[in-house]
Amino acid sequence: MTAQVDYLAVLFTATSGASGEFLGSDEKELVQLVWQLVDVKNKKLGRLHELLIKPDLSDLTEEKEEEDVVEEGAEEENGSGADCVTTAASLEEALNQFHLQLTNDVNSAGAGTSVCLCTDGQLHIRQVIHPEAASKNILVPDCFYSFFDLRKEFKKNFPMSDLKALNAYNMSESLSIPVDVPPMLDPSATPDPSATLPAEIAVQQVQTMASIVLALLSEPTCLIFSNSDRVSEKFESGTCSKMEKVCDNMVIRARGLPWQSSDQDIARFFRGLNIAKGGVALCLNAQGRRNGEALVRFVSEEHRDLALQRHKHHMGNRYIEVYKATGEDFLKIAGGTSNEAAMFLSREDQIIVRMRGLPFTATHEQVLSFFSPEDGLKETCPVSGGKDGILFVHYPDGRPTGDAFVLFACEEHAQCALRKHKEILGRRYIELFKSTAAEVQQVLNRYSSAPLIPVAPAPLVSVLPAMSLLPPPGGLRDCLRLRGLPYAATIEDILTFLGEFAHDIRPHGVHMVLNQQGRPSGDCFIQMASAERALQASQRLHKHVMSGLRGANSRYVEVFPCSAEEMGLVLMGGSLSHTHTHTHIRSRSGTGLSPPPCLSPPSYSFTPAPHVLPTEAAAALYPPIGQVLLAPRPLPPGHAYYPNTAQLYMNYTAYYPSPPGSPTTVGFFPSPPSLSSQGGLVRMPGLTYNSNGVKDLINAVQGYQSPAESVSLLSSSLIGQSSGGDAPHMSLPALITKGAGQYLDLSLL
């Protein structure tokens, strides 16, 4: 609206809760509307209207109800000074009644047709009427989507004034308009956030505002009311580039959202505030699911500040926390660089549905027939644009992730598609969710930026002697690795599966690999009598199904030959990569091994970590390696042992041998005897709170000659501002170990 309007409707609202600068911050209901029509051309005032709205008393006590009835009767008896007083039973009825009376007043005046609201600040429209109407699913009349902020209009003629400090009374004072300031609205007094505004003060406020409008219209100011503030009627979805600049003062983080909420639900929560196009970005967790958080970008800092006032307002039965965020945070979630996504999201007014759990072999035709079956037995929901309306998500190497996004032309088709949630495509049920453009960008960014080979961190203790991690090439491959075993498989099932080759297994040569929770991981290592029999077994049994476990959940088992060094590496915490293929079809170079995540073999270009201890201190603390790694000898049961071809490292890959490999066949060294050198004091922060204390620690440091009396647990009261789980101290020469899959940061004291 650029031209001068014919009429201004000076409006003031009051709720059953806080007033003044805290109006609308407590989600209280609207109880009073007061307005007066101002003829802009003739500079005349119309009738003063007051509309009382009956609040929802369902949550109030009977005593409170009787008190309100008495107060209402007193108001009707005494009057508030308005020319016309009416009542309404609900907010919807009040808004419609306001619009009808305003239209009648304009028509009866006959001097023009254009009318616009005028309020003292932004709160009455943006923080009271629109949020309450949105929470009650009430359609707001068109007149509430544009208004003039009297404070901004006043600042046009008085640019030196502080916009945040302005109110009706200091504006009237600047214009030399005599007015009586109520004690509760006195700027020099400390405002009470919970104070409810009396009805007569609301009428007085409107009269004061109308006088200010007339003063601004008159000479010498002769203000022209144009360019009114607009309230966005609809949230517009869109894309955001990572190269775009986003101001830090325009972004908030909303936390505690229902997991099924969409960008439209979030826009409804912030109804009355203008959100930038594509300014809602739902956050996902590591598994690609929504984590109940969202980043919202507004058009200005003023709207961002109003959004912060909705902290702990409710969306349904949940309260939503609202905090400040940065533009960088928003770009990390919503920014994208994919041209494919940009083309997919370039169509406007489209509803996006996310498909999760697709078969890896799913095609465009299968997705189209899933939503529009040809048999006619199920309802159809055509995909907008056909194949162009489907976007499959892939890993950087082109492998499908099982996710896809589909476009629909209207809300009706999208709701029809969502009713197919958990229907079957191929042999899998498909999960369907309403999605957003920001979620499309976020999912594509996550999968496209994931490295094919995870980057390994630097060694935790760099003063240990450097050793080669990978087993020497050309080792004797006299062992078998079974991968993809059913979780219910036992050693007896494995022996039955091997058949005639079971006679070639060495004593105690079957090693089940367990996961972090102590359950079967689906892997098993078997020590064979010779490399020839291991090769024959792998060639004959590769991808066969265990005969005793056939059925709906049966799985074929992959059989590979491997060396004892490779087996020892996995049993001690390493892992075999997916490039390890079958021996008789090997076409790739390398051993098929990937290092444990804490080790850095020479072929990896990682930045060397700084020494934990100076060289002199390390020499005093660590004895010569010859004293630690002794010659192999028979070990009694229960001895700790370490592989002779790998470094000592921290294990958080969580592989556990059951039963342990034979030291004489795998090549393990015994733990060192008691050393004459003085022990070191080791601090182990990061322990779990639910551990069994000293008992678990003694088990973790088995083989390091650590007597029980040297282990001590520190409480949080003894370690100051520690985050808990930070303790024990023990006297050891050196220690790097694992503890039930928990990452332990060991530092020498």
pLDDT digits (tens, 9 = 90+) for 432-486: 988 888 888 888 877 776 444 444 444 444 444 444 444 555 578 999 999 988 8
End-to-end alpha carbon distance in the chain: 72
Output the six-digit token pair for 535.
């090769």
Instruction: Return the pLDDT at 5.
Output: 87
Instruction: Return the pLDDT at 152.
Output: 92
Instruction: Return the pLDDT at 471.
Output: 53
Lowest-confidence region among 498-512, 608-622, 690-704: 608-622
What are the E-state strand segments in 515-608?
520-528, 544-545, 556-562, 575-576, 593-594
Instruction: Return the pLDDT at 51.
Output: 94
Bridging pattern class, strands 290-298 and 575-576:
unpaired
Lowest-confidence region among 24-38, 372-386, 516-530, 655-669: 655-669
pLDDT digits (tens, 9 = 90+) for 274-318: 999 889 988 888 777 788 899 999 999 999 999 999 999 999 899
- Find which of 61-70, 149-158, 658-667 is predicted with most confidence, using mean pLDDT: 149-158
Instruction: Return the pLDDT at 200.
Output: 83
User: How open is the CA angle 479-485-489, to the nearest 5 degrees?
Assistant: 105
The upper half-sphere exposure of residue 722, i.e. CA atoms within 13 Å in the direction of its Cβ, equals 17
Instruction: Return the pLDDT at 188.
Output: 58
Domains of the chain (ranges; CATH) run 7-56+79-182+195-230 (3.30.420.10), 248-334 (3.30.70.330), 339-448 (3.30.70.330), 479-572 (3.30.70.330)
Task: Please give the share of the chain, as a percent, with pLDDT higher than 90.
Answer: 34
Over 60: is that where the pLDDT of 74 sits? no
pLDDT digits (tens, 9 = 90+) for 516-527: 777 888 899 999
The sheet that has 351-356: what strands, in order across it? 390-394, 400-408, 351-356, 431-435
Over 80: is that where the pLDDT of 70 sits? no
Distances (CA, A) of 327 to 45, 444, 620: 46, 20, 51
Instruction: Return the pLDDT at 630.
Output: 40
Instruction: Return the pLDDT at 226.
Output: 84
pLDDT digits (tens, 9 = 90+) for 328-339: 999 888 887 667
Q: Among candidates 21, 7, 82, which has minimal Cα distance to 51? A: 82
Bigger pLDDT: 628 or 18?
18
d(CA 382, CA 372): 6
The sheet that has 680-685: what strands, in order across it? 726-732, 680-685, 747-748
Helix (H, G, I), strand (E, B), or coil: what is residue 53?
A: strand
Q: What are the beta bridge partners of residue 116?
A: 8
* Confidence category of residue 186, pLDDT binned at 50, 70, 90: low
Output the six-digit token pair for 351.
């509803």
* Confidence category of residue 83, pLDDT binned at 50, 70, 90: confident
